[in-house]
Chain A
Amino acid sequence: MKKAEFSLSVLQKRLFAVILAITFLFCIFLGRFFYIQLVWEDTLHYRALDQWTREIPVNAGRGLIVDRNGELLAGNRAGYGIYARASAVAAPEKTARLLSEALSEPYESLYAKLTDRSRSEIVIARRTQKSVVERIAQTELKGVYYARNDARVYPYGALASQVIGFTAYDRSGTTGIEAYYNSYLFGKNGEILFDTDLVGIDLKGASAAYVPATDGLNVKLTLDYRIQAIAEDVMGKVLSETSAKAARAIVLDPQDFSVLAMVNLPSYDLNDIPRDDLNTLNALSRNSLVSDIYEPGSTFKIVTAAADIEEHLKGNKRALDPHRHVFSSSRTRTVEGTTIRCWSDHKNGKHANETLAEALNNSCNPCFVDIALSLGKETFYDYLAAFRFGRTTGIDFSGEAIGMLLPESTLKTADFARVGFGQSIAVTPLQLACAAASAVNGGYYYAPRLVAEIFSCDGSVREKTSPALLGRTVSREASAILSGMLEGVVRDGSGKHAYIEGYRVAGKTGTAQKYENGVIAQGKYVSSFVGYFPANDPRYLALVIVDEPQGSYYGSTVAAPCAKQIFEGIIDIMHLAPVEAL
């Protein structure tokens, strides 16, 4: 044999090299398998789980909304949604026929839905009665599922509709308390999980996994539905009698600022929401007391008076003595060349030689110009800040407006003078009510509250709100002096239409001209009255606003009587005894 061209050892080496290369490749992918199957598997498995199952929702029962007495304001009516998964429907003709009979819906459209495989879950009926579902369930149709889908019901219909708010089709809150406290009310939806193949066909022998829903928590409001009903009744009447654009009222407990009633009229029925007319719905569902601003007019004089009394007690020389200072009897004041007039003509001895108490009784504008100018911008704005004008009150409600306060640095003196009697400033009704409450309750400003507590189905309290003191406005002494004067307004002055014998009602009227596009709108007024009782220890405070009443437009004649009727209603409901001998 000749010498070999290729030695055995060369070919052996080559074989060895190839085996080595292949071993190397094997190691690479085995390492990769190791990584995917033993290290990465958790993350991947979690992602994969999602594609392996189809879900039918199990809706959580939405929490109830009740008033402070436990009266139901928002509840649920049992209903069921019917769903189908086309890929799991075994006999579409039979299924469509049975569903068509049970739901009285056309066979053709149901059949089309049931055979539409482009969608995995089909809604057959969003909400039906339990009896219908029970009848269908007996037939044990394959691929058809049922899930609780309650309807939201409001036993009192339009009562406090802007406060309570409503829910969307997915049962989440859209407006009002329903929206603000949605995270408590909604609960947690559960689901029924079906093991399926790629297109959603149920796997044989696989059992459905049931993840139960957690019902939502209940919300107890500070509102008293009886006071709310009285207030709505009263405001409804004034709305129709005066053909006003709107009538609003807030009733507060001045001791802790819990809201007892909030009335916005016109209103709408929460069980029949005009969902198709968005503009109307937006207008009617708006809680203007919190979200809209207006020029308060004379009711704002409470704040000016409070500032003056407090400063005087503190020894500020610039403050006018609330008891001894006698205001000029002139009808006008000239500030920076502009003339500010009183609403009264001051003839025949009207508004002559007034003290602060009389100025309040008469609602005499020039006197409050004097106070503001005398105290000066800096001091006065400190009080505006303490009374929380220009910032939120902190109420537990969405969309609170902060009002419009001309900035102190650029404020013209002529404008500042008007702020003294409630012009050139815009506030929310809630801000004014709270400011008045803190001026007369001893000077305590709390965050207003609509919700008293959150409680679960078994009645146990989960969360309880408590009064949150945001700050002091005036001293107890100043508050008492002011309250005495405001009691005089109702007893002897412009507020006498709110007088109830024996109950020491106090308050202040307001009549503001409306502005449209920066000029005074002729014949358009906002009549208001803020009142409370009893004057020595305020328990109920009401702010009444009638927007654009036709005919008589004075706060004293339009708004004050409303407050009186509301107070009478409260006295009746609460069986309140008179606080002073008749």
Chain B
Amino acid sequence: MKSKFFFQKEDRGAKKAKGKGDILFLAAVIFLAAYGVLSVYSASSYNAEVQYGDSLYFFKKQLIGFILGLGAVAGIAFLDYRKLKKLGIPALVLSLVLLALVFVPGLGKSNYGATRWIGFGSFTVQPSEIAKYGFVLFTAWYFAKDPARMRTLVGVLPVLGAGGCVCVLIMLEPNMSVTMCVGAVMIGMIFLAGISKKGIAAISVPVLLLVPVLIAMEPYRLQRLSAFVDPWASPKEEGYQLIQSLYALANGKFFGTGLFNSRQKFRFLPFSESDFILSVIAEETGFFGVILLFAVIAFVVYRGFSIANACDNFYGYMLASGITLVFAVQSALNALVVSGCIPPTGLPLPLISAGNTSLVVTMAGMGLVYAVSRHNERR
């Protein structure tokens, strides 16, 4: 059975893609990644100097990630994305294996009380960043194979199962925020796939109920939650991170202190180059800069969904919208954390924050969305 989406014949896809695709979308993505490299330099140079004796330490790493990311975009942009259908199951399996490897002693790397990385020497990978896209690839393949699966709960179960496995493994690291992110993407994709309203309610309610349970399971989450309500109750412990982020934002005011002029990056604000890079950006470029940055991010999100909308096949639609959804949800969650709307959790701002796994994988994902846009134009 084919949906109304497939008004174009499958064999057309076999033709060599020639469209330019959504160049503006791609340009915005590359701009964000480049801006990220610059921001990482500004946010990290002092820390890098103190910690590694090289003020360019994080900058260089990020630059490598950016170049790798460009390579990934270039490689994927000219692919026929429909061939990736084959990767549906392998991507999920690879994701689960990588996530499981985190718990293998010697391979897993711990930091700040959580085991979130696997490493080979100085080379480390954060599997949860890969797993998000692995899950998207699987779900897109699964639903595209037979969109009618959406109508029964049994049909949706494999997606719930895959998402559940990914979530459990990430939760065990532990990493609450990425778990929430995957959960949100899972529900979002099932929703985007066109499940009935009753169905979406039947799935989301239990998932939402799980959140307080998970919070109650770990005492440190409760502490963070109370610190979030009043960070000044424990300014040196749980409240510290949020207070420092608020100070950075406040110091930025409307136009910011100017690029490279952050005061909080001088070791006051932890994770200033990674999860809290938005604090530094807000300090240096002010509310004005935050508005511009999120205008670009919103543009990428909008164009991503537009590409999904314009897609002539269900797989492309699910793929583009799923990847865009990951990007949008993660950007929003990060901004909500940085501005103290939700309790602090470790989640990078995609394309901007330091962290090569996230950068390369996100750029690759965006390359895939671009590939979909190129395919759309051929019709």
Contacts and interface: CB of A to CB of B under 8 A. Distances in A.
A binds B: yes
B46 to A, nearest CB: 7
Contacts of B151: 5
A18 B189 CA distance: 10
Contacts of B341: 28-29, 32
Interface stretch (A142-150, A197-205, A437-445, A474-482): A197-205
Given A1-B6, A2-B2, A30-B294, A37 B332 contact: no
A60 to B, nearest CB: 29
- For chain B, give the interface size range: 35 or more
Contact of A33 (B194, B282, B305): B282
Nearest to A22: B328
B305 A15 contact: yes
A26 interface: yes
A38 B254 contact: yes
A34 B4 CA distance: 44
B286 A19 contact: no
A41 B253 contact: yes
A385 interface: no
B292 to A, nearest CB: 12
A281 interface: no
Contacts of A12: 309
Interface string B248-283: 011111100000000110111000000000000010
A25 interface: yes
B3 interface: yes
Interface string B239-252: 00000001101111
Contacts of A457: none
B5 interface: yes
Contacts of A47: 247
Nearest to B148: A5
Contacts of A7: 4
A1 B266 contact: no
A29 B279 CA distance: 13
B254 to A, nearest CB: 6
A52 interface: yes
Interface in A20-47: 22-23, 25-26, 28-30, 32-34, 36-38, 40-45, 47
A1 B263 CA distance: 63
Instruction: Say what secondary structure dominates the interface of chain B.
Output: helix
B290 interface: yes
B200 to A, nearest CB: 10
A51 interface: yes
Contacts of A14: 191-192, 194
B29 interface: no
Contact of A198 (B148, B251, B266): B266
Contacts of A19: 301-302, 305
A211 to B, nearest CB: 19
A169 interface: no
Given A5-B147, A197-B268, A37 B336 contact: no
Contact of A8 (B5, B191, B282, B336): B5
B287 A38 contact: yes
Interface residues of A, number: 44
Interface in A177-236: 196-199, 201, 203
B339 A33 contact: yes
B164 interface: no
Contacts of A18: 188, 191-192, 305, 321, 325
Given A18-B188, A22-B301, A26-B332, A5 B254 contact: no
Contacts of A23: 298
Contacts of A199: 267
A15 B309 contact: yes
A1 B5 CA distance: 11
B317 interface: yes
A9 to B, nearest CB: 9
A6 B263 contact: no
Interface in A257-316: none
Contacts of A15: 192, 305, 308-309, 321
B118 interface: no
Contact of B268 (A25, A28, A33, A198): A198
B335 interface: yes
A560 to B, nearest CB: 69
Contacts of B252: 37, 41
Interface in B26-56: 46, 50
B340 interface: yes
Contacts of B3: 4-6
A30 B291 CA distance: 8
B213 interface: no
A11 B314 CA distance: 10
B207 to A, nearest CB: 15
B247 A48 contact: yes
A47 B249 CA distance: 13
A137 interface: no
A1 B339 contact: no
Interface string B288-325: 00110010001001100100110000000100010001
Contact of A48 (B251, B305, B332): B251
A132 interface: no
Contacts of B321: 15, 18
A196 B268 CA distance: 10
B290 to A, nearest CB: 5
A268 to B, nearest CB: 45
Contacts of A43: 250
Contacts of A17: 191
**Residue among A23, A29, A38, A42 having the largest count of chain B Cβ atoms under 10 Å:** A29
B2 A37 contact: no
A10 interface: yes
Contact of A22 (B253, B317, B332): B332
The list of the 9 closest CB pairs from A to B, nearest first, reads: A4-B4, A44-B250, A197-B266, A198-B267, A48-B247, A41-B250, A32-B339, A37-B287, A25-B332
Interface of B: 1-7, 46, 50, 147-148, 150-151, 188, 191-192, 194, 246-247, 249-254, 263-264, 266-268, 282, 286-287, 290-291, 294, 298, 301-302, 305, 308-309, 317, 321, 325, 328-329, 332, 335-336, 338-341
Given A44-B250, A197-B267, 5 more contacts: A15-B321, A22-B328, A25-B332, A36-B339, A196-B266
30 contacts: A1-B7, A5-B147, A5-B151, A6-B4, A11-B5, A11-B192, A11-B309, A14-B192, A15-B309, A18-B188, A18-B325, A19-B305, A22-B301, A22-B329, A26-B332, A32-B336, A33-B287, A34-B287, A37-B286, A38-B253, A41-B250, A41-B252, A41-B253, A44-B246, A44-B251, A52-B263, A52-B268, A197-B267, A198-B267, A203-B266
Interface of A: 1-2, 4-8, 10-12, 14-15, 17-19, 22-23, 25-26, 28-30, 32-34, 36-38, 40-45, 47-48, 51-52, 196-199, 201, 203
